[in-house]
Amino acid sequence: MRHPMKTYLLGIFLIGISVFFASCSGKVNPNKLTSELLPLDGNPLTSFRVLVKIGSANDPSGKEGLCQLAWSLLANGGSRTMTIKEITEKFYPMAASLSLSIDKEMAVFSGTIHKDNLEKYYAIFKEMLLDPGFREDDFNRLKTNQFNFLEKTLVNNMDEQFGKEILNLMLYEGHPYGHHEAGTVESVRGLTLDDVKAFYKEHFVQGNIVIGLAGGYPADFPAGIMADFGKLPEGFTPRLSLPPAHLPQALEFVIADKKTPATAISMGFPVSLTKANKDFFALWIAGSHFGEHRQHVSLLFQKIREERGQNYGDYAYIEHFIQGRDKFPAPNHARPQQYFSIWIRPLANSNRHFVIRQALRELKRLVEEGISQERFQLVRTYLLNYTKLYAQTLGERLGWQMDSHNYGHQDFLADVQNVLRKLTRDDVNRTIKKYLNFNNVSIAVITQDAEALKNDLVANTPSPIKYANPNMPKAVLDEDVVIQEFPLDVKADKVRIAPAAEFFQKTGLPAK
Amino acid sequence: MPKVIALALSVVLLVAIPPKLHSTNVFPYNYKIEELANGLRIVSIPLPNPNIISYYTVVRSGSRNEVEPGKSGFAHFFEHIMFKGTKQVPRASYDEFLTQLGAGTNGYTTDDFTCYFVVFAGRENLEKVVKTEADRFINLYYTEEMIKTEAPVIEGEYYSSASNPDRRLFELLRDTAFEKHSYKHTTLGFLKDIQDMPNQYEYSLLYKKRFYAPDNTILLVVGDFDHAQLMDLAKKYYGDWEKSNYILQTPSEPPQTRLKRAHYDWPSKTLARLTLGYHGPAYSDITLDKAALDLLAEISFSPSSPLYQKLVIQEQKCLSLGANFEDTRDPSLLTLSAIVKNDDDLPYVEGEILKELERIKNEPAPVRKLADIKANMKYSMANALGTTDGVAGTLAFYINLTADPGTLNKLFDLYEKVAPQDIQDMAKKYFKPVNSTIITLTGGKAK
């Protein structure tokens, strides 16, 4: 049996939809529960999406990882009256689950269920969130999993993710975003069940919660949920007052040294805009042109992979990006502070210096030369069409609806259609100049012989590469001559090297 | 789908129209099958949801077809070559076409087939897509230089998962368990063969001639279109595609005669891995073997199973436990895997899995449990088929096996027929020590 894709959320009827936004009607009391509803009559499925406006940035100092552990205990632990074993057994014939995704400032509990099982499912779903069991054995199991992930898996089994997380540490050192959602080895070791209970009591309150519901649920169903969750204490957690992220003042490197056949690279810097800003749409065109995630339209993909066969792919993002279904962005990772990044997928160690040069040179060209009229029109058309595929499942539509309101849009994807059509190439090039740069970039590298890379970077050692193809196009070889000597202003004191195993032991980067 | 050892098989799910559940037909949609004179089979499923079309081309050639020494990974490599364009629509123009269309597009390769999909909005774009896709399948054009430039990308893809121990474990399992059959290697292929791909231009031409032909390909179209229009377009644009008539002979795997073991030393810290592979049957919607084993996998190794609850939840020895009994055209492996928290517990966890396999041989499955499993499968499939692209992605897999979408309902009919005794019989037939390969992986000291 090929197991169907249980984790994906499901379908929608596109006709005859009536949408209303309970959260948008009238004045919202910040102490009270709100909701996002998307009723779709006749749809046999209902998708739940309980968004909590609390994420890892709310972890108390010294207790990093607490939010993830607390919310995991709700999603993966028993309720007061049912053990997780009993819940699993009850969910099984319904092919049901309760999933959790967690980010810096929000978390989402979600599940999709067939109408045959709606009431049965909700009864369990409700109890898991509103009446958790907080059992010691569930706590120990999930804490150990979180600890093992930090201590073993993240730095040894997934270098691409490791690179992205080092970049996060670089951009947000000393900042509430500056630790992995799972915390650190040291902090997780110290977490207690009492910490979890206190965190739940403090933050799982009405004003922090948005009840999302989409699909063919009965008309009176939302009222019942609002009544159930309305029994939670009133109140809300004030939004965090975030310090600025770290603005690199040079090319700043952190190199994780480990034995590896391939080098993973992530680089970036903070940008002072989000989906809430008007400039977002113009910069989005620039980002898509430069590095649309896993798409041929990406310039970096074309230059590094297609022309030169260096690796599997090369992309760029103007905000934090998590891949959802297929290659589309997953909603509900909204943040008030964002960053621009470039992701270079693993490549042969021998070519690492060349590709670092190439990526930064392309970034310089983007900033200095902007986007051509031809590319502007092509990429705009692309985004106008591609974004029509973003929100198709019930969960996605609900998630985008929540993100829209979070960023102050009535309907962000509808705004895409309106705003993009009015933009000009000049708008895009203006935002590129305003938000992007190539001199001050944080660069995370996972590789072996880190000292050798440092020496090459600082000395600007030429970095020619060899091709299997003896007849590479002349234009590529001519450009290579420029790239391989492209000067980077790297100061020795801006290159930090640490053994891979030292990362995520404590908050922040390993000691200098 | 692999549960624990997940080969990246990127199936997209898009858009709308969840099925109404029927008691008998788990696949509830009407479909039409037509075949052109050249053997190209077209499976068409118009759905009444507006605007989205999933256009899938299923080439029934995967790593199973890599029967010659030194050619492992070639089906996947050729998937990359398929994006190089034609003389009429060179690669840059093809990329621009897809970019203008704003399509979700890609390809993926499995043991048995290679799939290309274009998911796009707007039924008015159908002819452009049929024309462009037909052109690239019939008139693909590439040079030796293009091969040499693309080959290192595959090495890069290999590197993308180089730090993933499950990938190494899976490679070692396949390589150890199989002696002759091409399932011995994974879809990415052996690294030494990947590194030789720049030199395989001549073989690529032969590969294309053998397998990229209408009599080895199925076109699957799901969504907002008119069947008659699709057929007119298919005849117009695919009609001149020449048949191959090539018949593949995959080597028979000789019966295994002894228990095999192998171990992988991971160079840094990691949670330990254990995987047991037993030679099993090929996919069938006629004989009971595989259907009964599918039910066994759920009884004994799903999260609701007593063993999972014991090892993962209660004793907390394992991070995960799961079964992956793949549906393949030739007999493949029935795989049981666990991620184990402490290296010292590997023998214990192995013992518990073996005990469970013995238990299931001797104890009939409770009737209630079988009913729960059938309900789970029914709702899982309904969920998977809840979007246009869910229908296309799921069916692409099943039509690769039998070339007939009806196989899905036949399979679920078989599940209904499986009796507790059948499960015991199949457990006895396949879960024999001499038929097994056991692989372990443990970590070293992190640098």
Query: B11 vs B275, which has greater pLDDT?
Result: B275
pLDDT, tens digit, 9 for 90 and up, residues A143-170: 999 999 999 999 999 999 999 999 999 9
Buried residues in A270-302 as b, exposed as e (16+ CB within 10 A):
bbebbbebebbbbbbbbbbbbbbbbbbbbbbbb
Range of the domain at B310: 260-443
Q: Does A46 have pLDDT greater than 50?
A: yes
B419 and B388 in a single domain? The answer is yes
The answer to whether residue B24 sits within a structural domain is no
Decide: A193 and A133 in contact? Cβ < 8 Å: no
Question: pLDDT band at residue A468, thresholds of 50, 70 and 90?
Answer: confident
Nearest residue in B to A348, CA atom: B156
pLDDT beyond 90 at A16 = no
A18: pLDDT confidence band, cut at 50, 70 and 90? very low
Domain of residue B394, CATH code: 3.30.830.10
Task: For residues B107 and B188, state if they share a domain.
Answer: yes
The string of pLDDT tens digits covering residues A436-465 is: 999 999 999 999 999 999 999 999 999 999
Domain boundary among B238, B270, B291: B238
**Rounded mean pLDDT, B380-407:** 91
Amino acid at B72: S
- Tell me how far apart the alpha carbons of residues B99 and B89 are, in angstroms, rounded to a whole number: 14
Query: Does B396 score more than 70 pLDDT?
Result: yes
* pLDDT above 70 for A26: no
Cα-based torsion angle of the residue sequence B94, B95, B99, B100 in order, rounded to the nearest 10 degrees: -30
Same domain, B179 and B105: yes
Q: What's residue B383's pLDDT? A: 85
Nearest to B13 among A148, A158, A393 (CB): A393
Q: How far apart are CA A51 and CA B77, in angstroms?
A: 42
Element (DSSP H or E) covering residue A269: strand A262-271
B307 and B229 housed in the same domain: no
Tens of pLDDT, residue by residue over A86-139, are 999 999 999 999 999 999 999 999 999 999 999 999 999 999 999 999 999 999
B15 pLDDT higher than 60: no
**CB-based contact (8 Å) between B303 and chain A?**
yes
Query: Distance (Å, rounded) from C-alpha B362 to C-alpha A9?
Result: 39
3-state secondary structure of A80: coil
* A251-502 to CATH, choices 3.30.1370.60, 3.30.830.10, 3.30.565.10, 3.60.15.10: 3.30.830.10
Q: What's the pLDDT tens digit per position in B184-200?
A: 999 999 999 999 999 99
Whether B407 is in a domain gets the answer yes
Number of structural domains (chain B) is 2
In angstroms, the CA A431 to CA A454 distance is 33
Q: What is the share, in percent, of chain A residues with pLDDT greater than 70?
A: 95
Compare B95 and A7 and report the one with higher pLDDT.
B95
| Residues B108 and B209 placed together within one structural domain of the fold | yes
| Residues 413-442, chain B, touching A (beta carbon < 8 A) | none
- Residue B345 is classified by DSSP as G
| Final residue of a structural domain among B238, B272, B302 | B238
Assess whether B328 and B223 both reside in one domain.
no
- By mean pLDDT, which of A24-28, B101-105, B394-398 is the weakest? A24-28
Same domain, B310 and B226: no
- Is the Cβ pair B121, A261 closer than 8 Å? no
Asked if residue A6 has pLDDT above 80, the reply is: no
The stretch B261-273 carries a mean pLDDT of: 95
Q: Are residues B288 and B187 in the same domain?
A: no
pLDDT tens per residue across span B311-368? 999 999 999 999 999 999 999 999 999 999 999 999 999 999 999 999 999 999 999 9
Residues of B whose CB is below 8 A from A386: 102-104
CB contact under 8 Å between A4 and B164, yes or no, is no
How far apart CA B412 and CA B417 sit, in angstroms, is 9
Look at residue B5 and tell me whether its pLDDT is greater than 60. Answer: no
pLDDT of residue A99: 97
Contact of B266 with chain A, judged by CB distance below 8 Å, is answered with: yes
Q: Work out whether the CA dihedral A268, A272, A274, A280 comes out positive or negative.
A: negative
Rg of chain B over Cα atoms, rounded to whole angstroms, equals 23
Q: Is residue B109 part of a domain?
A: yes
Q: Which residues neighbour A428 within 8 Å (Cβ) at sequence distance 6 or greater? A: A282, A283, A285, A286, A370, A371, A376
Query: What's the CA angle centered on A329, arms A325 and A332, to 5 degrees?
Result: 100
Contact B1 A5 (CB under 8 A): yes
Q: A297 and A288 in contact (C-beta within 8 Å)?
A: yes
Find chain B residues with C-beta within 8 A of A416's C-beta.
Answer: none
Bridge partner residues of A35 (DSSP):
A211
The answer on B232 and B281 residing in a single domain is: no
Is B383's CB within 8 Å of A84's CB? no
Model confidence at B387, in pLDDT bands (50, 70, 90)? confident
Report helix, strand or coil for B364: coil
Q: Provide the chain B residues 315-374 that lie in CB contact (below 8 A) with chain A.
A: 316, 319, 325-327, 341, 371-373
Per residue in B205-224, pLDDT (tens digit) is 999 999 999 999 999 999 99
Note whether residue B346 is domain-resident: yes
Same domain, B83 and B151: yes
For residue B50, list chain A residues with Cβ-Cβ distance below 8 A. Answer: 14-15
In angstroms, what separates the C-alpha of B14 from chain A's closest C-alpha? Answer: 6
Q: Over the stretch A354-400, which tens digit does the pLDDT of each residue have?
A: 999 999 999 999 999 999 999 999 999 999 999 999 998 899 999 99
A359, A273 in Cβ contact below 8 A? no
| pLDDT per residue as tens digits for the range B19-70 | 444 445 888 899 999 999 999 999 999 997 768 899 999 999 999 999 999 9
Q: How far is Cα A258 from Cα A155, in angstroms, rounded to an integer? A: 9
Residues of B in contact with A151 (CB under 8 A): 269
Length of chain A counted residue by residue: 512
Query: Residue A15's pLDDT is what?
Result: 26
User: Model pTM?
Assistant: 0.92
Distance CA A389, CA A413 (A): 10
What does the domain layout of chain A look like in residue ranges? 22-229, 251-502
Which candidate in B51, B56, B124, B155 is best for mutational testing of the A interface (most A CBs within 10 A)? B155
Host H or E run for residue B152: helix B144-160
Contact B380 A3 (CB under 8 A): yes
Rounded average pLDDT over B155-178: 92
Interface test with A, best of B17, B91, B163, B316 (most A CBs within 10 A): B163
Question: Quick one: pLDDT at residue B24?
Answer: 59
> Which overall architecture, per CATH, does domain A22-229 show?
2-Layer Sandwich (3.30)
Sheet holding A34-39, edge to edge: A34-39, A209-215, A45-52, A107-114, A99-102
What confidence score (pLDDT) does residue A17 get?
A: 28
Amino acid A27: pLDDT: 72
Do A35 and A226 form a contact (C-beta atoms < 8 A)? yes
Mean pLDDT of A262-267: 97
Tokens 């919202």 found at = A28
Asked whether residue B302 falls in the same domain as residue B203, the answer is no
pLDDT of amino acid B33 = 97
Q: Comparing C-alpha atoms, which of B275, B42, B296 is closest to residue B173?
A: B275
User: Distance from A371 to chain B by nearest Cα, in Å?
Assistant: 16
* pLDDT value of residue A1: 57
Alpha-carbon torsion, ordered B32, B36, B40, B43, to 10 deg: -10
Is residue B104 over pLDDT 60? yes
B232 and B280 belong to one structural domain: no
